[in-house]
Amino acid sequence: MTRTNRLFALMQALRYHRPPVTAQLLADDTGVSLRTLYRDIETLRGLGAIIDGTAGYGYALTEDAALPPMMFDDEEIEALVLGLRDVQAIADPALAQAAASALAKLQARLPAKKAHRLKHAVLSVKRSSTTPHPTVDVRALRSATWDEMTIELDYIDQSGTASQRRVDPLCVTYFQDAHCLLAWCHLRDAVRAFRLDRMQNMTVTSQSFRPRRDCDAISAAA
């Protein structure tokens, strides 16, 4: 393995493993000694990577725009194109536009041969049914979820019963026939799923739920 390929492999390992990543694990992944691993870490830092941590503790990577673009193989490019095209097919207009923009940025930054592969990717997405359009501002909902802010909304369930809910938004899940918000419902005192096309009059409050965020609850509900 060339030194350049080894550095790319090290970056990939730092991205893949949950931080902090031990030096020994990184050395095993890249097939080098600990001494070489430490030198490679310093080389990446010199190239602009922000890598927190030290030997004996572990390392955590913060991406930096100064780094050269990551090289993708052909199947990774096809996976990226397929995923972004699927977003364009099923997401709300703002997120669909973001997917198109991401594809354009990828093509602009990849080397010519890889950009050609991306432009002429052989995988595509077609949907035979239309997902109901959300009835709230999904961009504002995503922002509240990122910022971990409690929201209030009116909700109409499957039977047509209306209720007012105060919820802590955890994630948005794109099912085949509907887009759903997974959230901690203050009324039910449990994680519940809310279809975005049945939500109305959503308001983002000034209350943060960050101290009570429960990632395990998201996984269980999903």
Nearest Cα neighbor of 138 from 205, 202, 208 is 202
Query: Is residue 215 assigned to a domain?
Result: yes
Domain total of the chain? 3
Residue 170 falls inside a structural domain: yes
pLDDT of residue 64: 55
Looking at the fold, whether 115 and 43 belong to one and the same domain comes out as: no
Q: What is the pLDDT along the chain (222 residues), one digit of tens a residue?
A: 788 888 988 988 888 888 889 999 999 999 999 999 999 999 998 888 888 887 788 898 876 545 555 568 889 899 999 999 999 988 888 899 999 999 988 887 787 888 898 999 998 888 777 888 899 999 999 999 999 999 999 999 999 999 999 999 999 998 878 899 999 999 999 999 999 999 999 999 999 998 666 554 555 555
The CATH number covering residue 167 comes to 2.30.30
Q: Is the preceding peptide bond at 20 cis, omega within 30 degrees of 0?
A: yes
Q: Is residue 115 part of a domain?
A: yes
Residue 152 included in any domain: yes
pLDDT score, position 18:
84
**pLDDT value, residue 35:** 93
Are the C-beta atoms of residues 117 and 75 closer than 8 Å to each other? no
CATH number for the domain spanning 14: value is 1.10.10.10
Residues 163 and 185: their CA atoms lie apart, in Å, by 12
pTM over 0.85: no
Same domain for 217 and 177: yes
Domain holding 176, by residue range, is 138-221
Residues 158 and 212 in one domain: yes
Maximum CA pair distance of the chain?
A: 65
pLDDT at residue 110, as a whole number: 80
Q: Which of 62, 84, 107 is the last residue of a domain?
A: 62
pLDDT of residue 1: 73
Q: Are residues 112 and 179 in the same domain?
A: no
In a domain, 129, yes or no: no
212 assigned to some structural domain: yes
